[in-house]
Structure 1
């Protein structure tokens, strides 16, 4: 387990670390097993990561896995201690933004906010609170690593020399990637159904004005399952994480006031203000989702069938059809091209596609148009047709096609060398105490045991 710039490790395990293994923590007799400067490592820190990694099938290389985890934590604490000396800080805004990105990534991966909360039995707010301290520590460590390695420069000649010296039998395999376009139609809700929902929310608002608890009503009636369990409370949230219609009303509410009825892409809401801290707001809400008649679902499907026929008959290009007919504001202006939330690019490995789209891809060839299908991964019913715009096959990495991979490999190697040197220097000048249970541990860096 390498400690340098392990973004993938952080993203994929921190949620498991802080949520799946919480029950395991209750069975651990906790104690301090190391002190690094003014930082401590707890036995539970090691046990949590151990359980999480074992659950993912991770196995250590040449050393014991718990020792590897322990040393990784020692390095993290060494960097955090030095960051405090060097006045390298992480703001609450940075931590919150990281948490928002992690939640969005997991929502995309599992399919919806509701599925994520149901799977872990926790609200998004609780998950973020569980992740807050580990996320802050990882962020400080990353900033410290960036400071230590900031003067590295790589030339093209160095990259070519690095590639030529590699064992060609050990070159990495580059997985295939796809670019996918979509056209989205949302089935229409009837005016009668909208009126029914609005009248119901007016009843709730009147009940609150008469003294009923907004929180109790949210628990009983809100159709946002995660926040409903918290009495409708969303926790401190930046404006950027809320849909504009909701944010515009929520950020203008006064304490304990209940908003007018707000319509968003997820349904209809009433909102109650709780508190505000700077650019973050904490509110409660009750969400009701209109029921969609089968006739309206059929209309959306029929409309997509007609659009697909126009494209197949070469009377309209997919990009044009997306612009004119797609109801998805995030993709319609770029030809329906879906952006990968993990990388910010338009290329996906198949496993990273939203589940409903990945299922359709199995039966689709390059440039074919899919049949209409239902996708509920965004928190609302959406009917779609998709097309594979481009596809690259899995291949062995080579310099002409994958220059950036080898440039990054060389950069990482140089960074690792600099970090190894830095760690050895800081070990000698930093107070370190290791519990006797690790006195015979085989660490990569010998300076821990003094």
Structure 2
């Protein structure tokens, strides 16, 4: 998925960054008030879709021009309403985009080879468009910030759904979990600390830090970039990592230090205000059999507390004992990850982790499972205690059972209608000219007003 052939990448970037012989790409394809949209803007976005591995369609360029028109309208209104973004927000988004492009291209050197310029130069070129995109997004948030729905709105929305279009919801469950991660003793951790210390000593002695990170770091994503994490601020990393990064000077290599992820060696590359550009090497301790045995014993004792003596309820036990920060302060209840914003605890059974689902399928409502050995995607093992709070059979949507999710859909519908109404008003007030090549696009038909059409004709 990450790998692209050289020929494919060359074609993509030659489309993006053609020379003077392809100046046809720079013709104006759209005018929105005082702003213009160039053909090269559309080609650049089109090529980025290809680079990201997204399937392109015959109408994609039409849709991209429509996106650019809406972005220009929002950005122009943002100037009027004094809606802005901070420069550090722009910096972060530029850096994020560059890291992703480097990852897709197979490294910074390869990306610069395809670009035909340095990444520093390219970052300067894309900065204005990224700022405009962020401002437009902030402006759209302002347009919809006061949108809310009442119970009456939800009922009205639901009653308007044709009877044969009312959605059917699959069987769902509410599942609580207490996660117990094995804890290594100081002696068990020591071999991993020594490995990190050895790598630090090699870096201090002159071995290339990036090469060591690529070869040994267990942070897989950053290891591909020589441990490079790009720029980050004080709120983006865990506190131990942040404290170390902001203490070092450019070029300095940190002592070995520990976070919840493992042992790190960190090197600061550059400081820029309240941001640091750094790279690191991560060594993650493995789980020993002795640690797993201790974990199992702890899980058994918690199970006994919950089912034998019943001296504590599941919610309190999760809060007190669970190592899962996502659920321990939520009564231990798992969240539907496909619907994170609403934080609903109702999870379709076909979306449950298979290891969890196989246990839950044997349980009755209100039952607590014996400790279950769980293996994560990273291969790490832990014990879990599960609680089946409720089961909802597959059914047609109704207000009594499904009000929270129907409220979410009704709210989204109201937001979309609010945005559409805003654009419809602006479309009539703003001069918009679309090049003849794009005037037949179905997605752009509503944007071609009579005045613009007349001026577009020869």
Correspondence 1:168 to 2:163: yes
C-alpha separation in 2, matches of 1:137 and 1:364: 53
Aligned match of 2:12: 26
Q: CA separation of 1:398/1:260 partners in 2, compared to 1, >3 Å: closer, same or farther?
A: same
Q: CA separation of 1:365/1:66 partners in 2, compared to 1, >3 Å: closer, same or farther?
A: farther
1:318 to 314, 317, 320: 314
Higher mean C-alpha deviation, range 319-328 or range 227-236: 319-328
Secondary structure class of the residue paired with 1:236: strand
Aligned match of 1:203: 198
Aligned match of 1:343: 341
Aligned match of 2:114: none
C-alpha separation in 2, matches of 1:174 and 1:414: 22
Give structure 1 stretches of 5+ with no counterpart. Answer: 1-14, 17-21, 103-115
Secondary structure class of the residue paired with 1:240: coil
C-alpha separation in 1, matches of 2:170 and 2:129: 31
Q: CA separation of 1:52/1:328 partners in 2, compared to 1, >3 Å: closer, same or farther?
A: closer
Q: Contact conserved, 2:174 with 2:347, CA < 8 A, in 1?
A: no
Please give the per-residue CA displacement for 1:132-169, whole angstroms capped at 9, x wherever unaligned.
Answer: 99976654334323444566676665555555444333
Q: Which structure has the bigger radius of gyration?
A: 2
Secondary structure class of the residue paired with 1:197: helix
Correspondence 1:242 to 2:237: yes
The CA deviation at 1:353 is 5.4
Higher mean C-alpha deviation, range 233-242 or range 379-388: 379-388
Aligned match of 2:77: 82
Aligned match of 2:446: 445
Q: Contact conserved, 1:354 with 1:377, CA < 8 A, in 2?
A: no
The CA deviation at 1:445 is 0.9
The CA deviation at 1:407 is 5.6
Correspondence 1:282 to 2:271: no
How many residues were matched structurally? Answer: 408
What are the residue-to-residue correspondences of 1:160-239 with 2, within 5 Å? Answer: 160-174=155-169, 177-239=172-234
C-alpha separation in 1, matches of 2:42 and 2:216: 42
What are the residue-to-residue correspondences of 1:44-55 with 2, within 5 Å? Answer: 44-46=44-46, 55=55
Correspondence 1:264 to 2:264: no
Secondary structure class of the residue paired with 1:223: coil
The CA deviation at 1:234 is 1.3
RMSD of aligned Cα (Å): 4.6
What are the residue-to-residue correspondences of 1:116-131 with 2, within 5 Å? Answer: none
C-alpha separation in 2, matches of 1:433 and 1:194: 66
TM-score (norm 2): 0.70
Aligned match of 2:383: 383
Q: Contact conserved, 2:433 with 2:448, CA < 8 A, in 1?
A: no
Higher mean C-alpha deviation, range 343-352 or range 407-416: 407-416
C-alpha separation in 1, matches of 2:445 and 2:303: 59
C-alpha separation in 1, matches of 2:242 and 2:219: 17
The CA deviation at 1:413 is 5.4
The CA deviation at 1:42 is 0.6
Please give the per-residue CA displacement for 1:95-123, whole angstroms capped at 9, x wherever unaligned.
Answer: 68889999xxxxxxxxxxxxx99x97879
Q: Contact conserved, 1:149 with 1:415, CA < 8 A, in 2?
A: yes
Secondary structure class of the residue paired with 1:291: coil
C-alpha separation in 2, matches of 1:358 and 1:132: 46
C-alpha separation in 1, matches of 2:320 and 2:433: 66
C-alpha separation in 1, matches of 2:383 and 2:333: 16
C-alpha separation in 2, matches of 1:133 and 1:395: 50
Higher mean C-alpha deviation, range 179-188 or range 352-361: 352-361
